Chains A and B, each alone.
Chain A
Amino acid sequence: AQTVTQSQPEMSVQEAETVTLSCTYDTSESDYYLFWYKQPPSRQMILVIRQEAYKQQNATENRFSVNFQKAAKSFSLKISDSQLGDAAMYFCAYRILLSGGSNYKLTFGKGTLLTVNP
């Protein structure tokens, strides 16, 4: 079964510092997509960043970047210059191929709760 594992239920970081959230996944596919979603206290699910597996270059969105290690099946999220507004639950997600080969769905990890300390 294809799974997504976030081994850190909770993390904390000081404001303005850098934090890395880890994610590993299990797959037999060679081409796939990985995502990080952020869920602030408002509960809205917000896409933070997306990585396409066939692209070797790590995705970056402003202060958010990923370290994508395809061989190790690792997809960590780095948040630089952490801000109070970064405090949220972060979910790693993997796009998996459904049986029949014509459709995909997202499967999510269990989440990492990030606290940002002033």
Chain B
Amino acid sequence: EAQVTQNPRYLITVTGKKLTVTCSQNMNHEYMSWYRQDPGLGLRQIYYSMNVEVTDKGDVPEGYKVSRKEKRNFPLILESPSPNQTSLYFCASRRTLPNTGELFFGEGSRLTVL
């Protein structure tokens, strides 16, 4: 089954404790991206990756890091989480060609930073 898998689905942590949200896709997609969803703000892009070893900032990259060492994986790293990073996070992927922009989403990761 084609899918984007995120882990963990739920996480409660404390300020300053480093955490990683993993993302893996099995569709051989070149493009992967992270979004955060906050009430009244919709989805905003954090980082994206066009392919292995190619990453770039989205609209709200502050406080986040990413890496793309393998095509299927695109982890999101919060080196020192803060309460304003409490949010619902989505990983997504798509094909490069044809480039319709259609994204396939993971099931979301609910993060709470105390």
Contacts and interface: CB of A to CB of B under 8 A. Distances in A.
A108 interface: yes
Given A108-B42, A109-B42, A50 B100 contact: yes
B108 A47 contact: no
Nearest to B104: A47
Interface residues of B, number: 23
B108 A105 contact: no
Interface in A75-95: 91, 95
B50 interface: yes
Given A43-B108, A44-B108, A105-B48, A91 B102 contact: no
Interface string A7-37: 0010000000000000000000000010100
A111 to B, nearest CB: 5
Contacts of B60: none
B107 A33 contact: no
B101 A106 contact: yes
Interface residues of A, number: 21
Interface in A53-105: 91, 95, 103-105
B88 interface: yes
A45 B103 CA distance: 9
Contacts of B110: 43
Contacts of A43: 88, 107-108, 110
Contacts of A103: 50
19 contacts: A9-B40, A33-B102, A35-B101, A43-B108, A43-B110, A44-B105, A44-B107, A44-B108, A45-B103, A47-B102, A50-B100, A91-B42, A95-B101, A103-B50, A104-B99, A105-B45, A106-B101, A107-B45, A111-B42
Give 7 closest A-B pairs by Cβ, nearest first: A95-B101, A45-B105, A110-B42, A108-B43, A43-B108, A108-B42, A33-B101
